[in-house]
Amino acid sequence: MIRHLALVLIATSTACAYAHVGSGEVAVVRTPDGVQQKVFPPGDWHIGVFDHAMKYSVRSQEREERLDVQSSDGLGITLDTSIRFHPIANEVVALDQELGQEYYAVLLGPTLRSQARRVVGRFKPEEIYSTQREVIERQIREGVEAAIKGRHVELEAVLVRNVALPEQLQAKITEKLAQEQEALKQAAEDQEKLTATKAEAERQTIQANAQADAARVQAQGAADASRIAAQAAADGKRLDGQATADYQKLIQSNLTPAMLRLREIDAERAFASSPSAKLVLMGGAGAHTLLDLRGAGDAKSGAYP
């Protein structure tokens, strides 16, 4: 009997169990002596018969929360929210010791509700319903992050999926938003008309300036043409006068007394050959000669001193 009991004790002391840790999980092993300070990653692990493996999912997890909060004026509002999170894998031993596997119920859920009440209480119902939803999400997330810092859980997001107001108030807010949208639309149309009017006025101004510039250029061109024509006429007269003067100067420089006398004789002969010529007074070299050209060619001529 004693021998049998000894064999059982030996078998028990040398027996072991297996812990299977799946993908996306880590495990913490609790022994009769306490928690092992080791995080067990995915795989199959030998543990003692009396040991127990506590498994934690380290994948992203999401919980939905319907929160009853109050606005700044005390109106009750319901928020449909969701929160995404995951444990920090290498801090799971501390998480197990401080909060345990129910860490969401102990830490995250209460923190989310508290921060939502704190943040929403700063806003009016119409702001919560319309314009400030993203601001509310951000402020709730920041508040939760600050509250769980160092508590071995990573916060990924806080989303406000829906805001439920009392039906009567929601109808008023919807009507008010519709009026604001209509006012914005009308303002946009007015601005568009004003822009079109300004554009047309600017176009007319540009066209008028262009016409004025064209008229000015045309007038300047006509004036330049008149000036150029007058200058050309003046230059022509000047050149003509200069040519005449140069011609006379050339003639005068080439006329000798003998040539002048020869020209004079030619002129006298041409005059004498005229049928109406009778008497010709000729002079040259200081003397004058009177010729009787009556009947020239067959009558006797005489000279009178």
Q: In which band, very low, low, confident or very high, does the pLDDT at 197 lie, cut at 50, 70 and 90?
A: confident
Both tokens of 67, joined, read: 């929160």
- Cα distance between the two ends of the chain: 208
Cβ-contact 19, 45 below 8 angstroms: yes
Query: Distance between CA atoms of 228 and 251, rounded to whole angstroms?
Result: 34
Mean pLDDT of 1-29: 68
Which of 111, 137, 165 corresponds to the end of one domain? 165
Most confident of 17-21, 25-29, 77-81, 173-177: 25-29
Max CA-CA distance within the chain?
210
Q: Which is higher by pLDDT, 236 or 91?
A: 91
Q: What predicted TM-score, i.e. pTM, was given to this entire model?
A: 0.52
Last residue of a domain, one of 134, 165, 196: 165
Helices and strands, counts by H and E, the chain: 8, 11
Q: Is residue 212 part of a domain?
A: no
Q: Distance between CA 211 and CA 205 in Å, rounded? A: 10
Inter-axis angle of helices 109-120 and 133-148, to 10 degrees? 140
**18-23 average pLDDT score:** 92
In a domain, 179, yes or no: no
Number of structural domains found in the chain: 3
Q: Is the domain of 152 the same as that of 120? A: yes
Radius of gyration for the alpha carbons in the chain, expressed in angstroms and rounded: 63
